[in-house]
Amino acid sequence: MMYRTSLVRSLYRTVGQFCKKPQYVCTSSRPSISLASHLSQRSYSVQATVNNDSGKAVKLQTVNDIFDAIPLKEEINYSLWVLEALSELPKAEQTIAVKDPKFLQIMDFLQQNLPEFAPPDVTKCLKFLMILYPNDDPEIIKKMEDQIKQVDSRMSVNQLYELVISHKATQTTNLRKEVYKQAKENLFLRWTEVNEPGVLIGMMFMAEDQVLPNLETKALQLIEKMSQQQIFSVLYFLCQRKHRNKPLIRALVFHLNNKGKELLLGPNKLVHLVRICAKLNIYDDVLLKRWSVAMYHHLVSDFQLSEVATSSLVWSISALRWHDPTLIDALVKKVLVNDTGPSTDLLTSLFMMCATVNYMPHELRDSLPELCKAFDKNFMIEKSRSFLEIVWSLAVLQALNESRLPLNFILGPEFQSKLKASLPDAVYPAACLKLMNINSEVKLNIPDYNDVLLPDDFLQSNSIQIPVKKNRPLVDKAAVALANMFPIEKFLKLDVQSPEGYLIDIEMLLNSAGKAQPVNSSNSNLQKLAIKVLDFSGMMLNTEDPVGRFKMMERHLSQNGYKVVMIPYHEIAEPQTTVKQVRYMQQKLDLSRPTASK
Average model confidence (pLDDT) across the chain: 88
Contact 84, 92 (CB under 8 A): no
**Percent of the chain as helix, strand, coil, to the nearest 5:** 60, 10, 30
For residue 67, CA distances in Å to 127, 509, 593 come to 20, 92, 90
Contact 37, 120 (CB under 8 A): yes
pLDDT value at residue 368? 96
Give the residue from 418, 437, 461 where a domain finishes: 461
How confident is the model over 540-592, as pLDDT tens digits? 999 999 999 999 999 999 999 999 999 999 999 876 788 999 999 999 988 88
Helix, strand or coil for residue 50?
A: strand
Contact 354, 360 (CB under 8 A): yes
Determine the Cα–Cα distance for residues 548 and 437; give it in Å rounded to an integer. 12
pLDDT band at residue 49, thresholds of 50, 70 and 90? low
Domain assignment of residue 296, yes or no? no
Determine the Cα–Cα distance for residues 90 and 132; give it in Å rounded to an integer. 10
pLDDT value at residue 46? 47
- CB within 8 Å of 18: residues ≥ 6 apart: 24, 44, 47, 50, 51, 69, 70
Determine the Cα–Cα distance for residues 259 and 27; give it in Å rounded to an integer. 28
pLDDT band at residue 35, thresholds of 50, 70 and 90? very low
pLDDT band at residue 15, thresholds of 50, 70 and 90? very low
Contact 19, 44 (CB under 8 A): yes
506 & 527 share domain? yes
3 & 62 share domain? yes
Residue 255 has pLDDT above 90, yes or no: yes
Domain assignment of residue 3, yes or no? yes
Contact 50, 69 (CB under 8 A): yes
Alpha-helical regions (H) of 423-462: 428-445, 458-461
pLDDT value at residue 59? 64
> Domain limits at 503?
473-591
Determine the Cα–Cα distance for residues 339 and 179; give it in Å rounded to an integer. 52
What sign for the dihedral angle of Cα 341, 347, 349, 351? positive
Residue 597 has pLDDT above 70, yes or no: no
pLDDT value at residue 4? 35
Domain assignment of residue 578, yes or no? yes
Residue 10 has pLDDT above 70, yes or no: no
Q: Percent of the chain scored above 90 by pLDDT? A: 74
Contact 436, 500 (CB under 8 A): yes
Residue 1 has pLDDT above 50, yes or no: no
Determine the Cα–Cα distance for residues 317 and 336; give it in Å rounded to an integer. 18
Give Cα 50 to chain centroid, integer Å: 40
What is the number of domains present in the chain? 3
Determine the Cα–Cα distance for residues 109 and 532; give it in Å rounded to an integer. 81
507 & 444 share domain? no
Residue 8 has pLDDT above 50, yes or no: no
How confident is the model over 288-310, as pLDDT tens digits? 999 999 999 999 998 888 999 99
Residue 38 has pLDDT above 90, yes or no: no
480 & 449 share domain? no
Strand stretches in 465-519, DSSP E: 493-497, 503-510, 516-517
pLDDT value at residue 16? 40
Three-class SS of 191-205: HHHCCCHHHHHHHHH
Determine the Cα–Cα distance for residues 513 and 595; give it in Å rounded to an integer. 9
For residue 258, CA distances in Å to 70, 223, 255, 282, 542 come to 47, 12, 5, 16, 20
4 & 97 share domain? yes
Give the residue from 117, 137, 172 where a domain finishes: 117
Determine the Cα–Cα distance for residues 307 and 292; give it in Å rounded to an integer. 19
For residue 436, CA distances in Å to 2, 193, 460 come to 85, 62, 11
For 37, phi then psi, to 5°, come to -60, -25
Q: Can you give the CATH number for the domain in which 521 is found?
A: 3.40.960.10
501 & 439 share domain? no
How confident is the model over 507-549, as pLDDT tens digits? 999 998 888 999 999 888 899 999 999 999 999 999 999 999 9
Domain assignment of residue 53, yes or no? yes
426 & 522 share domain? no
pLDDT value at residue 71? 79
Give the residue from 100, 117, 134 where a domain finishes: 117
9 & 103 share domain? yes
pLDDT value at residue 576? 73
For 223, phi then psi, to 5°, come to -65, -30
Q: Mean pLDDT throughout 223-248?
A: 96
Domain assignment of residue 401, yes or no? yes
Q: Mean pLDDT throughout 420-440?
A: 95
Q: Mean pLDDT throughout 105-123?
A: 92
Determine the Cα–Cα distance for residues 81 and 133; give it in Å rounded to an integer. 17
List the beta bridge partners of residue 49: 59
For 457, phi then psi, to 5°, come to -95, 25
Residue 253 has pLDDT above 80, yes or no: yes
Domain assignment of residue 62, yes or no? yes
Identity of the residue numbered 165: I
How confident is the model over 347-403, as pLDDT tens digits? 999 999 999 999 999 999 999 999 999 999 999 999 999 999 999 999 999 999 999
Alpha-helical regions (H) of 42-118: 63-69, 76-87, 91-97, 101-113
- CB within 8 Å of 531: residues ≥ 6 apart: 478, 504, 505, 506, 507, 508, 565, 567, 588
pLDDT value at residue 318? 98
Element (H, E) at 38: none
Identity of the residue numbered 206: M
Domain assignment of residue 446, yes or no? yes
Q: Which residues of 87-96 are buried (b: 16+ CB within 10 A; e: fewer)?
A: bbbeeebbee
Contact 503, 496 (CB under 8 A): yes
Q: Mean pLDDT throughout 84-98?
A: 92
486 & 581 share domain? yes
Residue 23 has pLDDT above 50, yes or no: no
For residue 429, CA distances in Å to 306, 416, 458 come to 35, 12, 11
446 & 493 share domain? no
Determine the Cα–Cα distance for residues 190 and 208; give it in Å rounded to an integer. 15
For residue 231, CA distances in Å to 253, 256, 268, 345 come to 8, 7, 15, 32
408 & 479 share domain? no
Contact 63, 97 (CB under 8 A): yes
Alpha-helical regions (H) of 446-568: 458-461, 473-483, 488-491, 548-559
487 & 548 share domain? yes
Q: Percent of the chain scored above 70 by pLDDT? A: 89
Helix, strand or coil for residue 400?
A: helix
Domain assignment of residue 572, yes or no? yes
